[in-house]
Amino acid sequence: MIADLLTDVEDFAQDQHGLAKVAKLKAAMAKVDVRPSAEGYQDLAHALDLCASLLAAEATLLGAIERRESGGAHQHSHSPALDPALKVNFIVTLKNGELVLSRVPADADEQAQLEKAHSRRMHRRKIDEELAKMQQETSAT
**Hey, where are the domains in the chain?**
3-106
How much is the pTM?
0.63
d(CA 57, CA 120): 27
Q: Could you tell me the pLDDT band of residue 102, with boundaries at 50, 70 and 90?
A: very high
Higher pLDDT, 32 or 81: 32
Surface-to-core class of residue 60, CB atoms within 10 Å of its CB (0-12 exposed, 13-18 middle, 19+ buried)? buried
| Of 101, 94, 104, 12, residue with least CA distance to 54 | 94
Per CATH, the number for 3-106 is: 1.20.58.100
pLDDT of residue 75: 53
75 close to 64: Cβ distance less than 8 angstroms = no
Bridge partners (DSSP) listed for residue 89: 104
